[in-house]
Every structure is written in C-alpha cells, then in structure tokens.
C-alpha cells in the first residue's frame, strides 16, 4: 500500500443500507439520525506506540489524554456535543499496571471536562507495542452538523487558534527530552504538543450559527486540512502566509520555520473552515466577546481545487503533505 487516502477511497462502499445514515466515510466523523431533534456523530482513531506517540515525549497520562483528545477534536469539527467514548487497548509486557492506570486517568480528566461517559471497550495483550483505539460519540442538532464540502468562491478562510505550536513543541522534546530544561516560552509549546485542547466550544458556536460553514480540525497541519476542504468543496483556497496566527513563543523562530510548522506540523486541534464574507464579521465578534480566537487567514475563489500560499505577492501551490502511514520514507 502506497497511500492510505487512496486506499480508503477504494474501500468506501458504493451504496448504503440504513436510511438513517446522513454522512458516512469522507468527513471527520460519521453522522446518522438518532431522534427527530438530534443526530448521532461517531468517530474512531488509533494510536500506535512508536508511530503516533513516543514515551520519551509523552507520559502515560498524556498519551491517554491525547488519545481521547484526537477523537473529541473530530467531534468538534462536526459541531457536536461529546457524550460517550469506548476504549480498545492492546497491552505489551513493557507496560506496567500503574502506567496503564495513568493512561486511563488522562482520558478520564478530559472526559470529565466534557461530561463524557466511558461505556465500554476491550483489553487484550500483545507482544509488540501498545495500541490504543478510542471511539467517541456525540450529538448534534438535526441538520446542524458541519461538513467539509460547503466552501464556495467568495468565502473567507478562518482558524480558531494558533498554527504550528504542537510541531514546535515536539521538536523541542526531541532536542531536550521529556523533562527539559525548557524556558517559559518553550514550556508553552511543549504543553501544546503534550496536552492539546480540542475546540469543542468553537465547534458548537459554528454549528449553531445560522450560516453556511465548512469545517475541519487541524490534526495533520493547515496545508493538509485546507486541501481536504478544497477537494471536498471543489474550490481553490488561497492562504495568506502573513495572516497565519503564530504563537508569541515562536516569534523568535525564522519565518521559514514558523511557516513549516504551521502548514505541515499537525496536532494543533484548532478548527479551520470557511464562511461567506458577509457573515465573517458577526462570527468574529461573537468569538472575541468570549475571549476566543477567530482569525481570517485567506479566501476561496473559483479554479482548480487545491491550496495556494500567497507570500510577498507570489502564489505557490501547497500540497497536502499530511502524515501518511504508508508513504515510503528514507
């Protein structure tokens, strides 16, 4: 297998059988009808030790917290209210019971924040590495789920938080190890990687707004997520490099490095989306009134679907370049 995204397209069913299915494969989560008023939103994600996390950059507690956060972020990108989660874990002999307890403690702390219930799962042994699979379930008002395919020419592109902080924090962990030493600014970046906070409140605002909005979460970098929106909407996205929100802790970094982290870093778990130009100001004011970020970073126009970076009056195409499990390396 050379490309996981091509493979997913190949195995996606051509027809479905359940009348209640609203949206299946192809977005951040699946959506199906659960009542006259609400729809259910379900997503699943797997983390493999040595591929998605390393024990020299994350504690067991942080691994668990991030394992749930990844899924909660997908629910946020659909505008959903998190409600339940299930955990399947394959445990190797190298993990102790105390470490596993800490892993579940990390998940539980995030779950308490969003009032989510752990309702089941599976625990098995393995001779290899730890594998953590979390399924998260949420609810959204009927017809209010947000999808990737709603962008149109004339829309503005927005982000609900900083881009590139998690990648910068990961690089610092690679350089200095799990326990530092880190400056105050570096600690902010490291925490952004170790304990990212899904933008659930932001997703709910965008879900309940009576506006046409496309939405995605930044798990694989702005370039990858913007490309997913552009492909789904069959639209051309223009991102202005000088408008990308960069955390103050990264201001001492060269501009080229800031841009690399923002576009290709991933795991920021902020939201990226589009909104009609005439509606952007209202949303911006609503976000800012409660202390939340809403930054306009570009615009949508007609043309070949894809993402283009506008930098110093020069335009260049930005490829997806998100993490691909089956891409040949080295």
C-alpha to C-alpha distance for 249 and 256, rounded to whole angstroms: 15
φ/ψ of 102, rounded to 5, equals -65, -40
Written as six digits, the tokens of 293 are 């970020």
Written as six digits, the tokens of 262 are 């923002």
From the annotation, which residues make up the binding site? 28, 45, 52, 74, 104, 121-122, 148, 217, 219-220, 267, 323
C-alpha to C-alpha distance for 158 and 283, rounded to whole angstroms: 10
Q: How far from the centroid of its chain's Cα atoms is residue 258's Cα?
A: 19
Written as six digits, the tokens of 66 are 């991030």
Residue 80 DSSP label: P
From the annotation, which residues make up the binding site for ATP? 104, 121-122, 148, 219
Number of Cβ atoms within 10 Å of the Cβ of 94: 12
Q: Where are the beta strands (DSSP E) in 34-181?
A: 38-48, 81-91, 117-125, 131-141, 155-159
From the annotation, which residues make up the binding site for Mg(2+)? 28, 45, 74, 122, 217, 220
C-alpha to C-alpha distance for 159 and 267, rounded to whole angstroms: 14
Written as six digits, the tokens of 61 are 């507690």
Helix (H, G, I), strand (E, B) or coil at 31: strand
From the annotation, which residues make up the binding site for substrate? 52, 267, 323
C-alpha to C-alpha distance for 196 and 188, rounded to whole angstroms: 11
Cβ atoms of 274 and 229 within 8 Å: the answer is: yes
């Amino acid at each position: 297998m050379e490309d996981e995204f091509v493979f997913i397209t190949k195995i996606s069913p051509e027809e479905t059988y359940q009348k209640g299915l609203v949206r299946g494969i192809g977005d951040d989560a699946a959506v199906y009808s659960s009542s006259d008023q609400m729809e259910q939103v379900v997503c699943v994600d797997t983390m493999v030790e040595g591929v998605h996390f390393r024990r020299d950059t994350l504690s067991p507690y942080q691994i668990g917290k991030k394992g749930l956060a990844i899924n909660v972020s997908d629910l946020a990108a659909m505008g959903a209210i998190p409600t339940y989660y299930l955990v399947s874990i394959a445990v190797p002999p190298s993990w102790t019971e105390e470490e596993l307890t800490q892993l579940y403690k990390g998940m539980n702390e995030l779950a308490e924040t969003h009032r989510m219930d752990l309702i089941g799962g599976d625990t098995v042994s393995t001779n290899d590495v730890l594998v953590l699979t979390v399924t998260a379930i949420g609810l959204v008002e009927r017809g209010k789920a947000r999808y990737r395919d709603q962008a149109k020419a004339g829309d503005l592109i927005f982000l609900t938080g900083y881009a590139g902080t998690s990648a910068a924090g990961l690089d610092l962990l690679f350089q200095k190890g799990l326990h530092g030493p880190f400056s105050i600014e570096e600690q902010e970046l490291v925490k952004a990687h170790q304990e990212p906070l899904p933008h659930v409140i932001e997703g709910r605002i965008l879900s309940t707004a009576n506006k046409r909005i496309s939405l995605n979460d930044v798990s694989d970098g702005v370039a990858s997520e913007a490309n997913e929106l552009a492909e789904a909407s069959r639209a051309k996205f223009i991102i202005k490099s000088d408008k990308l929100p960069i955390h103050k802790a990264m201001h001492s970094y060269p501009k080229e490095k800031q841009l690399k982290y923002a576009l290709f870093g991933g795991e920021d778990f902020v939201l990226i989306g589009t909104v009609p130009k005439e509606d952007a100001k209202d949303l911006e004011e609503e976000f800012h009134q409660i202390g939340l970020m809403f930054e306009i970073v570009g615009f949508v126009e007609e043309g070949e679907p894809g993402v283009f970076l506008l930098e110093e009056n020069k335009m260049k195409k930005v490829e997806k370049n998100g993490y691909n499990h089956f891409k040949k390396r080295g």
